[in-house]
Amino acid sequence: MSASTYIEASPRPPSVQTTVVAGALLLLLGGMAWIGQAVSSRQAVLYLLGGALGLVLYHAAFGFTSAWRVFIADRRGEGLRAQMLMLAIAVLLFFPALSAGSLWGQPVQGLVAPVGVGMIFGAFIFGLGMQMGGGCASGTLYTAGGGSVRMVLTLAAFILGSTLGAAHLHWWAALPHLPPISVVQSWGVLPALAVNLAAFAAIAGATVVLERRRHGRLVAASRPGRRGPARLLQGPWPILAGAVALALLNFATLALAGRPWGITSAFALWGSKVAAGLGFGVASWPFWSSPAQQAALQGGVLSDVTSVMDLGIIVGALLAAALAGRYAPKFSIPLRSAVAAVVGGVLLGYGARLAYGCNIGAYFSGIASGSLHGWVWMAAAFLGNVLGTRLRPAFGLEVERMPRQTGC
């Protein structure tokens, strides 16, 4: 029996949707020019960087939610191993720069947050929301951009949940908690790297053992229907290529923005602006009390780094879907699935605010920043994913399992 078996793919991939590609390029390049003139050239480049992230996420089908689900349900660990590679590259790049405090003349700082009761609960319900809503923060953006109408519903609920979380965060933050802990500052670069890399290797190794125990082999991704330059342009990309690209693009975000990639703070901003427009006293919430937060709330959305990158992710995913010939919105959503999308979205948004970030800001960028809370977030969110995976069938949602091979 071979060490790795491929799942067969469809023989003829769809062709490029040229009209949609043209529209996406217009949004991407036109938006970049507009932001460059209205805000700054750096902000315009960050918008383009968001577009690159959206394209990578779509072409590599780099999903945190699905990767955790298939491991929980079926012990397939390819997605988790890709995440460990991504994190390994990220810490190798981030830790020296964060220790130095600057990168190519730009002051940089990591996303380091406290571990506490509210943070752990937030990460847990975020993990539950991942499986109910059908996506994480990055997954919601890139699948919505790729044409999933259900994920647009999840995104709207995500924004609502983030706004509610911003309103309540001061109460949760007052519960028992540790101070923010950076292993880079506490241990030094080399010991922190050694411990983190060993942890990534242990997790990847455990997935290999458990997958072989369940399936007798490692189950690889589908064989691509495209080869060469066509595959580079239209996808699909190997998931490991996506892991490398995401780590490099997050490092580029650190260099340009002065801090790592994040997603969900923009959702709280968008929702709070809508709430303020409806007459709610948002400016009095403790979440918006600092001068920087007040400036963000009163300023334009295009001046917010996270917002322009999020918009770029949506447009980049739209471009990728059209290049792949797979942009085909479906407006019919089963009622149970729609309910799960709304409930999951609210849990995602509320949990992200309590946990000081999502799968990107807390997990990916948190661990890349050397923050202890990134590792605690991963553990708590994984438990939430276990419960969410078990609840999915009640809402008519699939839990992917490979068919068992028998002798007859």
Residue 300: partners with Cβ closer than 8 Å, 6 or more residues away:
38, 39
Q: What is the pLDDT of residue 212?
A: 95
Percent of the chain whose predicted confidence (pLDDT) is above 90: 78
59 and 324 Cβ atoms separated by less than 8 Å: yes
6 is a domain residue: no
**Tokens (6 digits) for 40:** 């700054």
Kindly state the average pLDDT of the residues 356-366.
95
Which DSSP state fits 392? G
Strand 4-6 relative to strand 218-220, pairing:
parallel
Per the structure, how many domains does the chain have? 1
Q: What is the pLDDT of residue 365?
A: 97
Angle at 145 between CA 49 and CA 380, to 5 degrees: 80
153 is a domain residue: yes
Q: What is the pLDDT of residue 142?
A: 84
- Alpha carbon 70 to its chain centroid, in Å, reads 17
**Tokens (6 digits) for 103:** 């990168």
Q: Which amino acid is residue 301, in one-letter code?
A: V
264 is a domain residue: yes
301 and 196 Cβ atoms separated by less than 8 Å: no
400 is a domain residue: no
pLDDT tops 50 at residue 1: no
- Alpha carbon 96 to its chain centroid, in Å, reads 24
145 and 328 Cβ atoms separated by less than 8 Å: no
- Concatenated DSSP letters for 304-354? -HHHHHHHHHHHHHHHHHHHTT---------HHHHHHHHHHHHHHHHHHHH
Q: What is the pLDDT of residue 48?
A: 97
- Of 396, 341, 310, 253, give the one whose Cα is nearest residue 65: 341
**How many angstroms separate the CA atoms of 358 and 136, rounded?**
8
**pLDDT tens digit sequence for 75-130:** 999 999 999 999 999 999 999 999 999 898 889 999 999 999 999 999 999 999 99
pLDDT tops 70 at residue 406: no
357 is a domain residue: yes
Count of alpha carbons within 13 Å of 116, Cβ hemisphere only?
A: 19
**pLDDT tens digit sequence for 247-284:** 999 999 999 999 999 999 999 999 999 999 999 999 99
Give me the chain's average pLDDT, please. Answer: 91
324 is a domain residue: yes
pLDDT tops 70 at residue 3: no
pTM listed for this prediction: 0.92
246 and 56 Cβ atoms separated by less than 8 Å: yes
- Of 219, 224, 239, give the one whose Cα is nearest residue 401: 219
Q: What is the pLDDT of residue 11?
A: 56
Chain position carrying tokens 């769809």: 14
Residue 368: partners with Cβ closer than 8 Å, 6 or more residues away:
87, 90, 91, 93, 94, 110, 250, 260, 374
Q: What is the pLDDT of residue 14?
A: 79
Kindly state the average pLDDT of the residues 6-17.
63
141 and 263 Cβ atoms separated by less than 8 Å: yes
Q: What is the pLDDT of residue 7?
A: 43
Instruction: Please give the residue that has the higher pLDDT: either 58 or 233.
Output: 58
**Tokens (6 digits) for 157:** 């609920």
147 is a domain residue: yes
Residue 280: partners with Cβ closer than 8 Å, 6 or more residues away:
none
**How many angstroms separate the CA atoms of 35 and 161, rounded?**
28
Which DSSP state fits 216? S
pLDDT band at 12; cut points 50, 70, 90: low
pLDDT tops 80 at residue 188: yes
**How many angstroms separate the CA atoms of 88 and 192, rounded?**
12
247 is a domain residue: yes
351 and 344 Cβ atoms separated by less than 8 Å: no
Q: Which domain holds residue 116?
A: 16-222+232-395
- Of 46, 32, 37, 33, give the one whose Cα is nearest residue 307: 46
Q: What is the pLDDT of residue 403?
A: 65
